[in-house]
Structure 1
Amino acid sequence: MINEPDHTYGPAGFSTLPDGRRLHYRRRGSGRPTVVFESGMGLSGSIWGLVQPAVAARTTTVVYDRAGFGRSDPAPGPRALGRLVEDLAHLLRHLGDAGPYLLVGASWGGPIIRSLAATGEFPIIGLVLVDQSDENTSEFFTPAARRQFALSRRLLVPMARTGLYRRLGGRMGRKQPADVVHDHLRYDFTVSAARAAIAELDGFLDDLQDLGRNQPRLDGIEVSVISGTKITRAERKLRAAINGAHRITAERLDRGRFVPATQSGHHVMFTEPELVVAEILRHLPDREQVPDVH
């Protein structure tokens, strides 16, 4: 059993799923709602080190690792969206009477928490989508984009074996607390993590298209749609389309709010963590005391 009570995220725990797999999570803070952090595709919970501490000072926080990442057990077969949602649901059931919940999801974590909230099983007071993977981004479904996704799939394991995956992917996360950086570099860029990322990537476009056809109903739930508007070299062909998709999503939601992150590209939690924190705190009961940073 992992103890480490002084870890930035809090002491560790494990939730055992019906098939015997265990999900690793850490809980810190007190009070309600419980804020649960969902990471992006191919990443453990070790991306929230600049956000979670500020939120844990105000309420209870839970950071966890999806199957195959961090200290969570791997899962066999493809990791389609529905399976990821079900794992998160099991974790919330394991937490017991910890609701209501505020869910925070980065990148692919956005569709995961939206789909979970739409089930209606859990009391959800709000969602914060941090530059989510958005089904309204039509450019994701072009032949060129599909070729790029296929290339990424082929390269991930070789890059992990040579250490290139870690050298390239671990740069931005190094500004976090030392123990979070340690976990990030130790777990997120291994061959096993690359294989778990491929298992999620395999169904990504199909799941995204299905979301476009059957968008999760989030009536009555406040949703912050944070969108990185800074154009980086890696996303110069996609960023404007992603921002447009985020605006569409915010407009279509019953209680959606578009939040531009003007100093950020995709990884807003690293480049503008204070903005993510402000949007999370905005959803808390005393949100009127939170200054508007926009």
Structure 2
Amino acid sequence: MQRQHSQGTPGTARTRDGRELFFMEHPGPAGGGGATVVFEGGLASPRSYWALVQRAVAGSARAVVYDRSGLGRSAPDPSGRRPLARLADDLGDLLDHLGPGPFVLVGHSWGGPVVRLAAAARPGRIAGLVLVDPTDEACDLLFEPAIRSLEKTRYRISMVLAHLKVFGLLFRKVTAALPPDAAADMRAEAFTVGAVRTMGAEQARVEADLRALLAQPPRLGDIPVTVISATRPTPGMSARARESVNASHAYRVRQSPRGRHVLARQADHMVPTTEPAIVVTETEHLLGAPAGRSPER
């Protein structure tokens, strides 16, 4: 008998323009009910990255991970354009497929703005947001020209390494933390030329998307918003940058009548693999479930 994958059962959801998004789900406790938790990754981050958190949260709720277009097992977007609004629409289409909700959305890094925008589109079905070390337009540092230059350099280097089939070596620490089957999926799918192209398509619009968020912030009403900030050094991020990023997180929390700011004392930016337990605890806090389970490999 074949052993079940650590990320659950596979499925596909169709977007409004006919693209198929690949997802995997754990059904949650027997009897179901309650909110469904859906995880959204950062730039070029596939479903596999959430394996530790997803499996632990599945003890309390239905837990779903998916690949954005052009990542993992989801086909590329033929339009070639991946602005934030399109990412949020795709997430909304996935939620439509999964049912009426309610949903708790968990977004890491660039996934933070994605889940905020998707929640604002239909706030009535959203039970809460967990933003994990999110990108936030309140961070002035993100608009500096040096950041755009760094992004372009990172993209060029990533593409070269992907062509040489050694890009994944930079993320050995991440894959080593995952269950073996999720780690194998990530090594096979996350570091390809196609995945890097998708990263570039999303990255190309980051500044314009952030400015659009500044001009018209997503209206979240009284949806509970928890922001988790990393505190440990992250390669390529200065102490000044970390201070600016975390200040933007504190600002985001203040904009919500039900905001909560939590510091991940053991984590760098890669919180879902460096301190997954804090993501589990804060997600379960919004679910109203008892906390205390630790993610296991």
TM-score over 0.5 (shorter chain): yes
Distance 1:94 1:222 in 2: 23
Give the C-alpha shift of residue 5 in structure 1.
Answer: 7.2
Q: Is the 8 A contact 1:161 1:191 kept in 2?
A: yes
Q: TM-score, normalised by structure 1?
A: 0.93
DSSP-derived class of the 2:73 partner: coil
Task: Answer whether contact 2:249 2:261 (CA < 8 A) is retained.
Answer: yes
After TM superposition, give the deviation of residue 122 of structure 1 in Å: 5.0
Stretches of structure 1 that go unaligned for 5 or more consecutive residues are: none
Pick from 274, 278, 282 the counterpart of residue 277 of structure 2: 274
Correspondence for 1:213: 215
Cα distance in 2 between the residues matched to 1:241 and 1:231: 13
Q: Is the contact made by 1:104 and 1:129 (CA closer than 8 Å) also made in structure 2?
A: yes
The residue identity in structure 2 corresponding to 1:246 is H
Paired positions, count:
286
Letter in 1 for 2:263: P
Q: Deviations over 1:101-145 (max 9, x none)?
A: 000000111100000111126511100000011111111111211
Q: Which residue identity does 1:70 align to in structure 2?
A: G
Is the 2:222–2:256 contact (alpha carbons within 8 Å) kept by the matching residues of 1? no
SS of corresponding position for 2:42? coil
The superposition leaves residues 244-263 of structure 1 with CA deviations (integer Å, 9 ceiling, x where unpaired) of 11111111222111111111
Distance 2:172 2:189 in 1: 11
Residue 219 of structure 1: CA displacement?
A: 1.2
> Which residues of 2 match residues 48-197 of structure 1 at below 5 A?
48-76=50-78, 77-97=80-100, 99-120=101-122, 122-197=124-199
User: Does 2:261 match 1:263?
Assistant: no
**AA at the equivalent of 2:177:** K
Q: State the match for 1:15 in structure 2.
A: 13
Q: Which runs of 4+ in 1 moved over 6 A?
A: none
1:170–1:184 CA contact under 8 A, matched in 2 = no
Alpha carbons 1:229, 1:239 under 8 Å: kept: yes
**2:47 counterpart residue number:** 45
Letter in 2 for 1:50: L
Whole-Å separation in 1 of the counterparts to 2:56 and 2:244: 32
Cα pair 1:5 1:11 within 8 Å, conserved: no
After superposition, residues 222-241 of structure 1 pair within 5 angstroms as 222-236=224-238, 237-241=240-244
Letter matched to residue 14 of structure 2: T
Offset of residue 20 of structure 1: 2.7
Distance 1:135 1:251 in 2: 14
TM-score under structure 2 length normalisation:
0.92
Distance 1:254 1:217 in 2: 12
1:290 alignment partner in structure 2: 291
Shift of 1:182: 0.8
Q: What letter matches 2:254 in structure 1?
A: E
Unaligned 5+ runs, structure 2: none
Secondary structure of the residue aligned to 2:23 is: strand
Q: CA deviation at 1:42?
A: 0.7
Alpha-carbon distance in structure 2 between the residues aligned to 1:93 and 1:262: 36
Moved more, 193-202 or 150-159: 150-159
Residue 37 of structure 1 aligns to a residue in which SS? strand
**Aligned equivalents of 1:290, 1:21: Cα separation in 2:** 37
The whole-number CA distance in structure 2 between the counterparts of 1:22 and 1:117 is 21
Please, which of 12, 26, 29 is the counterpart of residue 28 of structure 1?
Answer: 26
> 1:259, 1:71 → 2: CA distance?
33
User: CA RMSD of the aligned region, Å?
Assistant: 1.7
Contact 1:219 1:255 in 2 (8 A): no
CA distance in 1, matches of 2:124, 2:219: 14
Structure 2 counterpart SS, 1:118: helix
Provide the rounded CA distance (Å) in 2 between the counterparts of 1:89 and 1:249. Answer: 22
- The farther-off stretch of 22-31 and 154-163 is 154-163
Q: Which moved more, 1:211-220 or 1:68-77?
A: 211-220
The alignment partner of 2:105 has SS state of: strand
